[in-house]
């Protein structure tokens, strides 16, 4: 297995792994077109750390980790693309009208995050396909190494509080501590932080 930067040519494979790892999550429910726009924005953002685990000599994505230095600037860039994403949003709502309240909440959250400077690297997504084999841990350590190399001192992430014991344990056994919780609609989310300097 090799860990390398995600290329634009890997985008479709990354999206497929996302769908496996986050089958019932908001971004997945928004549809492939929306996911493509989200990850395209991430790959075009200068402050990204975008890594993938692949079978050597192939383009098969086994897992990936994506996050941002100065995440508020990423959310500003993402918010600016809203008009381009409108067709994908409309299709998602036509398919699943129950998404409307969550879309409105997320629009407000993206705007709020764009206004608040964050002095840490944010790990936005870490996902592994159907077979684990320690890939998540290797991706996390590679992500931390890349963040350190760019001068980051802290790493933050958000994950579900309830029904998510294995994921929370994954982070807690790797040095992350619970910093805060927040309600996002019906979901309770945990904010974790780890010093990496």
- Which CATH number characterizes residue 153's domain? 3.40.630.30
pLDDT digits (tens, 9 = 90+) for 128-147: 986 667 899 999 999 999 99
Overall average pLDDT of the 23-52 stretch: 90
Q: Which residues pair with 51 in a beta bridge?
A: 5, 65
Looking at the structure of the chain, the number of domains it has is 1
Least confident of 80-94, 103-117, 132-146, 175-189: 103-117
How much is the pLDDT for 7? 94
Residue ranges with strand state E in the chain: 2-5, 48-54, 61-68, 121-128, 154-160, 177-184, 187-195
The residue among 63, 2, 25 whose CA lies nearest residue 185 is: 25
As a whole number of Å, the CA-based R_g of the chain is: 16
Q: Measured between alpha carbons, how far is 97 from 175 in angstroms, rounded to an integer?
A: 40
Residue 163 domain boundaries = 2-195
Overall average pLDDT of the 164-192 stretch: 90
Q: Measured between alpha carbons, how far is 1 from 11 in angstroms, rounded to an integer?
A: 19
Would you say residue 187 has pLDDT above 50?
yes
How much is the pLDDT for 113? 54
- Most confident option among 22-26, 75-79, 158-162, 184-188: 158-162
CA distances from 168 to 49, 140, 159, 174 (A): 22, 14, 8, 10
Describe the chain by its helix, strand, coil percentages, rounded to 5: 50, 25, 25
Least confident of 76-80, 98-102, 113-117: 113-117
Which pTM was predicted?
Answer: 0.82
The residue among 120, 124, 121, 97 whose CA lies nearest residue 110 is: 124
């Amino acid at each position: 297995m090799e860990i390398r930067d995600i290329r634009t040519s890997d985008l479709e494979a990354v999206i497929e792994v996302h769908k496996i790892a986050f089958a019932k999550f908001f971004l997945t429910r928004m549809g492939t077109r929306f996911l493509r726009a989200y990850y395209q924005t991430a790959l075009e953002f200068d402050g990204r750390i975008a890594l993938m685990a692949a079978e050597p000599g192939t383009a098969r994505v086994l897992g990936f980790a994506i996050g941002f230095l100065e995440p508020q600037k990423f959310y500003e860039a993402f918010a600016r693309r809203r008009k381009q994403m409108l067709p994908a949003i409309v299709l998602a709502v036509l398919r699943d009208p129950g998404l409307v309240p969550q879309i409105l909440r997320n629009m407000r959250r993206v705007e709020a995050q764009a206004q608040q400077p964050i002095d840490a690297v944010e790990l936005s997504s870490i996902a592994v396909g159907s077979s684990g084999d320690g890939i998540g841990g290797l991706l996390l350590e590679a992500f931390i190494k890349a963040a350190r190399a760019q001068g980051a001192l802290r790493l933050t992430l958000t994950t579900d509080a309830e029904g998510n014991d294995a994921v929370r344990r994954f982070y807690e056994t790797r040095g992350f501590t619970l910093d805060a919780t927040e309600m996002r609609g019906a979901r309770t989310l945990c904010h974790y932080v780890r010093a990496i300097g």
